[in-house]
Structure 1
Amino acid sequence: MFGDSEGSPEATCLGIEMEDKGLSSLLMIYGLALFIHTDIVHGDLSYSIPEEIKRGSVIGNIAKDLGLGVDRMSSRNARIDAEGNRKMYCDLNLATGDLITAERIDRDSLCGKKASCVIKVDLVLENPLELQRVTLHIQDVNDNSPQFNADSIEMEIHELADKGTRFSIEEAHDADIGQHSVQKYDLQNNDNFVLVVDNNIVELVLENKLDREKQQEINLLLTALDGGSPQRSGTVVIHVTVLDANDNAPVFRQALYQTNLPENSALDSVVVTVSATDADEGIHGEVTYDFGHVSNDHEKIFSIDHKGGEIRLIGAIDYEETSNYELRVKAKDGLGLTSYCKVIIDITDVNDNSPRIFLKSLNNPLPEDVSPGTEVGIINVQDRDSEKNGLVQCSIQQNVPFKLVPSIKNYYSLVTMNQLDRETTSDYNITITATDEGYPPLSASKVFQLSIADMNDNAPVFEDDYYKAYVTENNKQGFTLCSVAARDPDWRQNGTVVYSLQTGQVNNSPVSSYLSINGDTGVIQAVRSFDYEQFRSFKVQVVARDHGSPPLSSNVTVSVFITDVNDNSPQILFPAPEGNSFMTELVPKAAQGGSLMSKVIAVDADAGQNAWLSYHIINPTDPGLFTIGLHSGEIRTQRDISDSDNMKQNLIVVVKDNGKPALSSTCIMHLLIFDNLAEVPELKDIAHEENSTRLTSHLIIALVSVSTFFLTFIIIILGLRFCQRRKPRLLFDGAVAIPSSYLPPNYADVDGTGTLRSTYNYDAYLTTGSRTSDFKFVTSYNDNTLPADQTLRKTSLDFIEGFEDLDVSPKNTVGRCDFNRYDCIFYIGPAYVNIK
């Protein structure tokens, strides 16, 4: 069992021992069968395999040895990783968990004569990162036969050579080691020489003196045998020429020459100089040098000067490939006597290799919602130099949210430092720099791109916080009001925005019955035609939602304002255009110029300038007698009334608004000039003429009763509280107050934009001779107008009782009678009284 694991000191090495005896030898003979024994360990794994094993042969089951299932091996992306650019002699079968051979393994070329031949690879597991060192012990197989440097060895021996003289023979070379290398030599039987082998030095010993006259040449067969099974051998023919007198062989000054040579030394540099001397003179003392048995690779790197013994560098040397060389140098004199020395050249390391950066794995693209500290990738840094020259420090540039965390050996984990945001940066060019500790230091950089995958982490954001849309009333269906726009910085479907209207109601109707929105463009259109007079504005909520999972949304308020169009004609409230009712305004003959006689009251449902009304009189009975306020509608006398003026005055009043085009309405005002109430009965005839209707006796009785009641009422009030004498004058400083029952149901005077102005009240002045008529005197009254629901309908007794506590002065009393409806309405103080 092997015990040279490179892992922790506590690690137990795994493997088999291949020995050149017993069952192991027999198995190698029949196919170099492989027996592997493994145990579960907590450190490195170690396997022993013979060289020259077939590709695809199973070395061992790593999944079983590590206690991992095959599924976990695949899920953790298990792989075999070799340092640098060295060959991958083995590979991993993820389907079975077997470690198999991937290349031909020749121990002799890998390790030469080293006693131990080891291949080290790394087993890398991810999630989490785990590194297992796998050591392969390559066992030698007897696949090489012993070889001599030449097919024959030429030797010249003087016939006077003494018995026992030793002649060195170059030993045989066997690429195998140990028991499989050369174990013994056999010399063909002869009468003159015996073979002596001592400490791997082969020498011919002259046992019987030579006699040139008997035998000038002797051929000896020398056989080298290894210890393998089956045994391999190599032969060489030793051709001995018997000469005269050359009894001294060259002698090296040193048996071992050892020197250091920096790698990458200049070509033709002198590595070492060997020297040998020969005691003989002349041709017998001339020494030449040559290499003994060396490999072809060594002959391409070194050369020797045959005369001077200088060994020069003729090829490139690399410490990372071979750290030392062993050469055998032969010195030969002129007559063929030789001697040998050994030259050992140790290659010293130079910092000539820059670090290399390998990206082993990378989670690309990386989701932007990963938490800080997440492992993104695995970096491996290698430097083929040794010792300090091979120590590497790895760093990353400072402007990226990532950092390198040292892991196992030369492995680093690339982890996130901060929260990522794809909308800020979608791609990162990450630069990794590795610098060794040699002198001068060498460095290398590697740039790789890391993309950030989008997550739906941004809700749509509207360009404006609030939207306003203006539409003219009576618009067409499908009219575009406005458009909203929202931006989502997310990508693709996460950033695709669709618009919709939030469910709700406008004026008790669904929003969808008023507006629609284009889900793609955000364009808002009208579903119906709007009417300014029904409502003037409303608000809706627009929802922008993306297509992410889950989707995100945001809202914005859109206010729709309806602008007015002049689509409503003025509506005349007074005089009331009801049926065929006949209304007559009483004008006292004593009225002076500028006196307020009546007022035309009109409203317009439109707004703004479309509701600015103007009043005009057309076709009056007496053109110069009455005038109307252009904007107030007040009908006043232009001059004093004369006796020549017609008693009955008819005025056609046109009310126009200020729209374009202007709309108008007309009404007719009937004015009756009277001097005293005795003339009032003539109104009967007027009523008959105008309305083709005859007054009944009931109306006459009612008018007389009302007149009598008011005369009595006024006398009592004047006598009890004021006892004042009322001057016959009219007060005109306001406009007529109209009860709410006169207003159209859809009219509301809001914000001071309507057409009704301040309140007007009317005072009634009755003479003792009055009987029936429609009568009204006016004066200003600035209190609030009585609502229609406060109108009183009472009998005469109730009427008197109800006003006992009221101020019934003439200034606070108003009356009006309608001849067709047979009723009179009086305003006393703050209340209306309706008498049928």
Structure 2
Amino acid sequence: MKRGSVIGNIAKDLGIDMKSLSSRDARIDNEGNRKRYCDINMNTGELIVAERIDREGLCGKKASCVIKQELVLENPLELHRFILNIQDINDNSPQFKQSIIKFEISESAYKGSRYLLDEAHDADIGMNSVQSYTLQNNENFLLSVLTGANGGKYGELVINKELDREKQSEVALILTAVDGGTPPRSDTVVVTVSATDADEGQNGEVTYEFDNLAEVPELKDMSGDESSSKLTFYLIIALVSVSTFFLTFIIIILAVRFCRRRKPRLLFDGAVAIPSGYLPPNYAEVEGAGTLRSTYNYDAYLTTGSRTSDFKFVRSYNEGTLTADLTLKKTPFAVDNLEGLEAEMNDSFQTM
């Protein structure tokens, strides 16, 4: 029905005063927030089509297709639910999935051999769907029309006259699918049958040219096997990669630990141990209060990274002791001076 077409007079069917439709703000609401497919005429109370209704888009191949609506009236509030039952019309034609069907049949195929034809699909339901098939330009075959489990119709080629490759190597047939609508709609496909030598096959071979090869059952199995093989290949690659990474990681850890064991462990890089005899006795560490006064305590800094084994005394707490710039080197002269200084300090302690 086109937009504006009258479905029925809902005000009359419900016994509502048509004069009160405007004052009571009558309107049509949709349950489930669907698209508004109908409306109400405030002057006549008629229910009219507001938008085009596509049954196939709403319900597909379902046998029943309904739309739930509500008539709403204000002051006082009234709700009247009603259902639109959408009937199918023959607005779709049958369609084959492929444009050409190719058969290779051995000339030794016996009379009565059958070859399944592809089914034509129709979006309409019931009598508006495919009801019959016809075969034209035919001398060697009969056409048998069967009904599938889902109610769809499909055809079979039946050999009525044995093929002779030497006389006719190829036969072109025209297969037509017709629906039961008024007026009827149809679609055609070319069926090419090629005769092969008797030793090339016992009953011949059938070849379909499908737009989607995955729809053929045999090819579905093949694609499944191929997918399984690819998955196994990927799993093997992943296992090898993880194993290689793990072994490499273990080798690196062992190499690092081996290198660390062989590396000499030094407290200071380039540091030289200084004999305790080189230091004055005043610098010796004492426990508790000690016997030395704080004026004889020194802070010593050893140079790290130096290859000359130098050390230096900084300024002592007693300004009259050693200068901050006094640097001693490990030379014979410096050693003698240190030993003399040690003797003098020992004498001073004995005197005290």
Q: Please list every run of 5 or more consecutive structure 1 residues that lacks an aligned counterpart in the other structure.
A: 1-52, 251-282, 293-303, 312-836
Residue 306 of structure 1: CA displacement? Answer: 6.2
| Equivalent position of 1:69 in the other structure | 17
1:231 to 184, 190, 196: 184
Q: What residue identity is the alignment partner of 2:85?
A: H
8 Å contact kept, 2:214–2:223: no
Query: Does 2:214 correspond to 1:290?
Result: yes
Residue 91 of structure 1: CA displacement? Answer: 1.4
d(CA) in 2 for partners of 1:96, 1:246: 75
8 Å contact kept, 1:142–1:180: yes
Residue 289 of structure 1: CA displacement? Answer: 5.1
**Within 5 A, what are the aligned runs for 1:316-327?**
none
Query: Does 2:112 correspond to 1:159?
Result: no
8 Å contact kept, 1:169–1:203: yes
The alignment partner of 1:139 has SS state of: coil
CA RMSD, 1 decimal? 2.7
8 Å contact kept, 2:55–2:88: yes
| Equivalent position of 2:223 in the other structure | 307
Q: What residue identity is the alignment partner of 1:81?
A: D
Q: What residue identity is the alignment partner of 2:63?
A: A
**Within 5 A, what are the aligned runs for 1:22-101?**
53-101=1-49
d(CA) in 2 for partners of 1:246, 1:97: 73
1:180 to 114, 128, 139: 128
Query: Does 2:168 correspond to 1:215?
Result: yes
The alignment partner of 2:172 has SS state of: strand
Residue 249 of structure 1: CA displacement? Answer: 7.3
8 Å contact kept, 1:289–1:305: no
Residue 131 of structure 1: CA displacement? Answer: 2.2
| Equivalent position of 1:131 in the other structure | 79
Residue 105 of structure 1: CA displacement? Answer: 1.1
8 Å contact kept, 2:101–2:190: yes
Residue 101 of structure 1: CA displacement? Answer: 0.8
User: Aligned pair in 2 of structure 1 residues 130, 248: CA closer, same or farther (>3 Å)?
Assistant: farther
Residue 125 of structure 1: CA displacement? Answer: 2.4
8 Å contact kept, 2:117–2:157: yes
User: Aligned pair in 2 of structure 1 residues 309, 130: CA closer, same or farther (>3 Å)?
Assistant: farther
- Alpha-carbon displacement from aligned partner over 1:71-117 (angstroms, at most 9, x marks no partner): 22223322111133321111122232111111111212222222222
**Within 5 A, what are the aligned runs for 1:407-556?**
none
| Equivalent position of 2:70 in the other structure | 122
d(CA) in 1 for partners of 2:202, 2:29: 62
d(CA) in 2 for partners of 1:161, 1:212: 12
| Equivalent position of 2:88 in the other structure | 140
8 Å contact kept, 1:122–1:131: yes
d(CA) in 2 for partners of 1:103, 1:142: 19
- Alpha-carbon displacement from aligned partner over 1:444-491 (angstroms, at most 9, x marks no partner): xxxxxxxxxxxxxxxxxxxxxxxxxxxxxxxxxxxxxxxxxxxxxxxx
Q: What residue identity is the alignment partner of 1:308?
A: G
Residue 128 of structure 1: CA displacement? Answer: 3.3
- Give TM-score, length-normalised by structure 1: 0.24
Could you say which structure has the larger radius of gyration?
1
- Give TM-score, length-normalised by structure 2: 0.55
8 Å contact kept, 1:289–1:307: no
d(CA) in 1 for partners of 2:103, 2:79: 60
User: Aligned pair in 2 of structure 1 residues 306, 119: CA closer, same or farther (>3 Å)?
Assistant: farther
Residue 149 of structure 1: CA displacement? Answer: 1.6
- Alpha-carbon displacement from aligned partner over 1:769-800 (angstroms, at most 9, x marks no partner): xxxxxxxxxxxxxxxxxxxxxxxxxxxxxxxx
- Alpha-carbon displacement from aligned partner over 1:292-339 (angstroms, at most 9, x marks no partner): 7xxxxxxxxxxx78621799xxxxxxxxxxxxxxxxxxxxxxxxxxxx
8 Å contact kept, 1:289–1:306: no
8 Å contact kept, 2:105–2:205: no
Which structure's residues are more often strand, by fraction? 1
Residue 146 of structure 1: CA displacement? Answer: 1.9
| Equivalent position of 2:240 in the other structure | none
d(CA) in 2 for partners of 1:136, 1:309: 49
d(CA) in 1 for partners of 2:205, 2:74: 67
Greater relative contact order structure (CA < 8 Å, 6+ sep): 2
Residue 68 of structure 1: CA displacement? Answer: 0.6
8 Å contact kept, 2:104–2:204: no
Residue 189 of structure 1: CA displacement? Answer: 4.3
d(CA) in 1 for partners of 2:202, 2:48: 61
1:169 to 89, 106, 117: 117
Residue 129 of structure 1: CA displacement? Answer: 2.9
User: Aligned pair in 2 of structure 1 residues 91, 309: CA closer, same or farther (>3 Å)?
Assistant: farther
d(CA) in 2 for partners of 1:181, 1:85: 31
- Alpha-carbon displacement from aligned partner over 1:252-307 (angstroms, at most 9, x marks no partner): xxxxxxxxxxxxxxxxxxxxxxxxxxxxxxx9xxxx95227xxxxxxxxxxx7862
d(CA) in 2 for partners of 1:248, 1:130: 72
d(CA) in 2 for partners of 1:310, 1:103: 49
| Equivalent position of 2:239 in the other structure | none
8 Å contact kept, 1:193–1:207: yes
d(CA) in 1 for partners of 2:69, 2:225: 43
User: Aligned pair in 2 of structure 1 residues 124, 310: CA closer, same or farther (>3 Å)?
Assistant: farther
Q: What residue identity is the alignment partner of 2:168?
A: Q
d(CA) in 1 for partners of 2:222, 2:3: 45
The alignment partner of 1:290 has SS state of: helix
d(CA) in 2 for partners of 1:135, 1:99: 12
Q: What residue identity is the alignment partner of 1:209?
A: E
d(CA) in 2 for partners of 1:121, 1:305: 47
- Alpha-carbon displacement from aligned partner over 1:480-528 (angstroms, at most 9, x marks no partner): xxxxxxxxxxxxxxxxxxxxxxxxxxxxxxxxxxxxxxxxxxxxxxxxx
Query: Does 2:57 correspond to 1:109?
Result: yes
- Alpha-carbon displacement from aligned partner over 1:2-30 (angstroms, at most 9, x marks no partner): xxxxxxxxxxxxxxxxxxxxxxxxxxxxx
8 Å contact kept, 2:90–2:181: yes
Query: Does 2:105 correspond to 1:149?
Result: no
8 Å contact kept, 1:289–1:309: no
